[in-house]
Amino acid sequence: MTTQTTELRMPPKPRNRWRTAAIVAALCTFTVLTCLPAIGGVELDFAGMVRNWANGADKMGELLRPDFSFLPRTITPMLETLAMAVAGAALAAAASIPLTLWAARPSNPNRVTRQVVRFIINVNRAVPDLVFAMVLVAMVGVGVLPGLITLFLFDVGVVVKLVSEAIEGADHHYIEAGQAAGGTQSQINKATLLPQSWTLYANQWLYSLELNVRISAILGIVGAGGIGRLLDERRGFYAYDDVSVIILEILVVVMIIELCSNLLRSRLR
């Protein structure tokens, strides 16, 4: 074998050095500008932070001494929160099936209906969950129901957006076969696209359940039931030892839910 080395002539790699530099410069400028109070930027009061440090340290100290005798009183609200999270996720899962099919191009070739569903979902997603909760508390009263509806709306937004995008990102050669066999779009969706996509759904359903436990913990602050309400109440009484117990409990529950959800997800193929 001859090992004569002819020099490889590589085509020059395209460089965008100027563009990169311009983007970095723009980002830096923007960041600096947003911190200039003179032109409406946020005011960073470093001196204030230092002054109030002791104050914060005190509270941290209290938080580090949880009063576990408070634990029994948290059980019922925690179960309420879990019920809210599970029911919200389950209802959203059911609603997300048809909505996602309407929002994704492979399952809905009709541009008009697709855009309408997407628009509604985007509006829904643009509203912060706390705002939903506040409005709903005003509408249906304090308790679990406004929390449940908030979680439902939030989950539908998350699942429909993520799953419809995942469906659009995947190959669907079998759709052509369904069309060639004379199938309607709904037949194709039900018999092939749904079985093909159900792991995408299941992943997001579990993810929305995880999010729900976390979110429902704070929804209580605006009166939407569950552990959050208790948290807000104890914080109002400056009972940081109780607050600490609640936070730890939320942490543990979230971790357990996440563990279960990860276990289930790893079984999805």
Task: Annotate each residue in 172-211 with x if it binds other proteins (CB under 8 A) or - if it does not, as one string.
Answer: -xx-xxxxxxxxx-xxx-xxxx-xx-xx------------
**Closest listed residue to residue 123, CA positions, set 113, 115, 133:** 115
Task: Annotate each residue in 214-233 with x if it binds other proteins (CB under 8 A) or - if it does not, as one string.
Answer: --------------------
Distance CA 72, CA 207 (A): 29
CB of 173 to other proteins, least distance (A): 4
> Number of residues in contact with other proteins, rule: CB under 8 A?
22
- The DSSP call for residue 192 is I
CA angle (265, 145, 151) in 5-degree steps: 35
CB of 188 to other proteins, least distance (A): 8
CB of 93 to other proteins, least distance (A): 18
Q: Rounded to the nearest 10 degrees, how much is the dihedral formed by the CA atoms of 207, 209, 211, 215?
A: 170
CB closer to other proteins out of 38 and 180:
180
CB of 197 to other proteins, least distance (A): 8
CB closer to other proteins out of 133 and 188:
188
Q: What are phi and psi of 109, to 5 degrees?
A: -70, -15
The answer for residues whose C-beta is within 8 angstroms of residue 142's C-beta and 6 or more apart is 223, 224, 225
CB closer to other proteins out of 63 and 198:
198
Long-range contacts, 261-267 (Cβ 8 Å, 24+) = 261/206, 261/207, 261/209, 261/210, 264/202, 264/206, 265/202, 265/203, 265/206
CB closer to other proteins out of 45 and 176:
176
DSSP H/E element including 175: helix 173-180
CB of 201 to other proteins, least distance (A): 12
124 binds other proteins (CB under 8 A): no
CB closer to other proteins out of 74 and 107:
107
CB of 81 to other proteins, least distance (A): 35
Residues 147-176 that bind other proteins (CB under 8 A): 173-174, 176
* DSSP helix, strand, coil percent of the chain (3-state; round to 5): 80, 0, 20
CB of 202 to other proteins, least distance (A): 12
CB closer to other proteins out of 124 and 192:
192
CB closer to other proteins out of 92 and 200:
200
Answer yes or no: are the C-beta atoms of 81 and 216 closer than 8 Å: yes
The contact set with other proteins (CB under 8 A) reads 173-174, 176-184, 186-188, 190-193, 195-196, 198-199
